[in-house]
Structure 1
Amino acid sequence: MTREIVFTQRVEFGDCDPARIVWFPNFFRWLDAASRHFFVSCGVPSWSETERDTGLIGTPLVDTHARFIKTATYGDTLQIRTRIAEWRGKSFVMAYRVLRGDDLLMECEEVRIFAARREDGSIYALPVPADIRRLCE
């Protein structure tokens, strides 16, 4: 069984366009927050701590595919259900389902990497850390 973590997000007036529909980039902002919430809920230390201790700076996004099904508006409370759908050598697929009650509003899959920083400031992918994978399974 794959671990699934729920992140709750309330939609505010400023999250919406003039038609009172959530402006789509806000969904991606919330998914990013849900991703970090997933790792925190699994017991993974802050990225500041992992950077200090191991050089791991976080999990940047390298690819995404989303499907919008229904709209959301201010006052809605959304549940963002997050799980890791696939572990790969240097990346993983994070899957999200955004619901309002029983209504599915959006589905998304993201490919992310565990990243470190070179001396010149550029980033590169690390192999998936075994300890983090164990915490998240």
Structure 2
Amino acid sequence: MIVDYSFKVRWGDTDAAGIVFYPNFYKWMDEATHEFLAAIGYPSSSLYAEQQVSVPLLEANCQFKSPLLFEDKVTVRSTVVELHSKVFKISHKFFKEDEKMVAEGYEIRAWTSFKEKPKAYPIPNEVREKMMPENAETVKN
């Protein structure tokens, strides 16, 4: 599954020069992951409310290729690129409106139960099937 998450850069996302301050890319990757989960039928809020399950971040990385500026229209294209028993790696590619890639990064997250002490659990098969890159249909949000 490939999920597109689109937004416009806001003034508060930029530094004094009007260039996006780098931590915002990590914020947007986080948002894109939650959009991805919602697109495959597992919105984070419902997942936690109904099953006390969340996907805490284990690792994040981002490479910046070109700056984003105030009011740029951006699309983050997200797809799971590695799927292990309890952990998944989700890739995020940032594109400007002209389809120029301006950054790419990834997050590694664990399928975790918070019913008691936080503990990673195997990702359910029905979730895995929807996450798998082989099911590469694009969903725009």
- Tell me, yes or no, whether TM beats 0.5: yes
Q: Which residue does 1:10 correspond to in 2?
A: 8
Match of 1:31 in 2: 29
Q: 1:1-137 maps to which residues of 2 (within 5 A)?
A: 3-44=1-42, 46-56=43-53, 58-100=54-96, 101-117=98-114, 119=116, 122-137=117-132
Query: In 2 relative to 1, CA 13–49 (structure 1 residues): closer, same or farther, beyond 3 Å?
Result: closer
- Report which structure shows greater RCO (CA 8 Å, sep ≥6): 2
Partner AA of 1:134 in structure 2: E
Tell which deviates more after alignment, 18-27 or 127-136.
127-136
Q: CA deviation at 1:50?
A: 2.6
Pairwise CA distance, 1:53? 3.7
Give TM-score, length-normalised by structure 2: 0.85
Identify unmatched segments of 5+ residues in structure 2: 133-141
Percent identity between the aligned chains? 24
**Number of residue pairs matched by the alignment:** 131
Map Cα deviations across residues 16-75 of structure 1 (whole Å, 9 max, x no partner).
Answer: 00011101111111111111111111122x33433344331x111101121111000111
Unmatched runs of 5 consecutive residues or more in structure 1? none
Q: Letter of the 1:8 partner, please give it.
A: S
**Matched-pair contact (CA < 8 Å) for 1:114–1:127:** yes
Query: Cα RMSD over matched residues?
Result: 1.5
Query: Where does residue 138 of structure 2 map in the other structure?
Result: none
